[in-house]
């Protein structure tokens, strides 16, 4: 990769004085642009938007006195998990615990059709050992990180749910990043009694993997959960084109089925 291709425009897009009023890549700069450059460019933009979400959301939680734990369902490469640790430290969340739920063996065998050909059994694998290694190297609240290993239809048992309920610890922020409908269904069932008013629910793959259809994927599981839970949600922040966050509250007269 040539040196000039390692520098991507910052997010948000940088403005300039004069036409076209924003800094754009031109033909000379993109002459040798290839697939690897596209992947790196997309990841730079996507992870920057996610980091901004965590910065904003921990500010919201702190200012609104929403105390609780962080849950993440789907922890590949420990990217957003480290973002949560960083922002928790910046906001002096000294009592927060961090729960990582993952098979640590990649995706299960999909039972529903997706539009992403790489979403196959074993894809997006980060081992538990590697994950915890990245947590320890990050050096923030590592002693308060807990992992739960296994595919969700097997690991999110009633006994485990009861343990979380009995602990009395509620969720303040949850990241559901499990890609598949069949993975998301048990997650929503599991978290329901652990939520509280003011908790932020971040759905990473709301518009990913199924060409944006609300009748498929994690979006479908989310809408189905809304139809049976006592909790209501209000739209909070958009994270790129793929994700969205919601604030949880109680109101028996509120409408059902928010996307």
Q: State the CATH number of the domain containing residue 63.
A: 3.40.50.150
Is residue 33 domain-resident?
A: no
User: In this structure, is residue 234 part of a structural domain?
Assistant: yes
Look up the domain containing 133 and give its range: 46-250
Classify residue 19: in a domain, yes or no: no
Among 12-16, 115-119, 163-167, 204-208, which range has the highest average pLDDT?
Answer: 163-167
**Residue recorded with tokens 């919601």:** 246
Mean pLDDT score across all residues of the chain: 90
Residue 138 located in a structural domain: yes
What are 195's two structure tokens?
Answer: 């939520």
pLDDT surpasses 80 at 115: no
Residue 7 lies in a domain: no
pLDDT digits (tens, 9 = 90+) for 128-170: 999 999 999 999 999 999 999 999 999 999 999 999 999 999 9
Average pLDDT over residues 243-254: 90
User: What is the strand order of the sheet 145-149 is part of?
Assistant: 145-149, 98-102, 69-73, 171-176, 200-203, 243-250, 231-239
Closest CA to 198 of 153, 236, 158: 236
> Does residue 14 lie in a domain region?
no
Domain contains 38 = no
pLDDT band at 4 (very low <50, low <70, confident <90, very high): very low
The pTM score is: 0.90
* Domains of the chain: total: 1
């Amino acid at each position: 990769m040539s040196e000039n291709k390692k520098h991507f425009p910052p997010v948000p897009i940088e403005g300039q004085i004069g036409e076209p009023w924003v800094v754009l890549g031109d033909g000379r700069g993109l002459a040798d642009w290839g697939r690897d450059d596209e992947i790196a460019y997309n990841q730079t933009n996507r992870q920057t938007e996610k980091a901004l979400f965590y910065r904003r959301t921990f500010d919201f939680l702190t200012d609104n006195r929403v105390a609780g734990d962080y849950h993440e369902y789907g922890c590949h490469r420990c990217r957003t998990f480290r973002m949560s640790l960083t922002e928790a430290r910046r906001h002096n969340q000294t009592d927060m615990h961090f729960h990582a739920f993952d098979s640590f063996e990649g995706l299960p065998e999909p039972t529903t059709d997706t539009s992403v050909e790489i979403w196959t059994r074993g894809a997006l694998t980060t081992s538990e050992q590697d994950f915890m290694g990245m947590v320890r190297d990050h050096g923030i609240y590592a002693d308060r990180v807990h992992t739960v290993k296994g595919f969700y239809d097997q690991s999110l048992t009633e006994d485990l749910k009861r343990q979380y309920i009995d602990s009395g610890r509620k969720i303040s922020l949850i990241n559901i990043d499990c890609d598949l409908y069949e993975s998301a269904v048990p997650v929503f069932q599991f978290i329901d009694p652990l939520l509280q008013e003011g908790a932020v629910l971040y759905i990473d793959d709301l518009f990913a993997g199924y060409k944006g259809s609300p009748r498929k994927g994690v979006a479908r599981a989310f809408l189905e959960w809304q139809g049976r839970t006592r909790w209501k949600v209000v739209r909070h922040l958009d994270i790129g084109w793929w994700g969205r966050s919601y604030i949880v509250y109680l109101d028996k007269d509120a409408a059902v089925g928010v996307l």
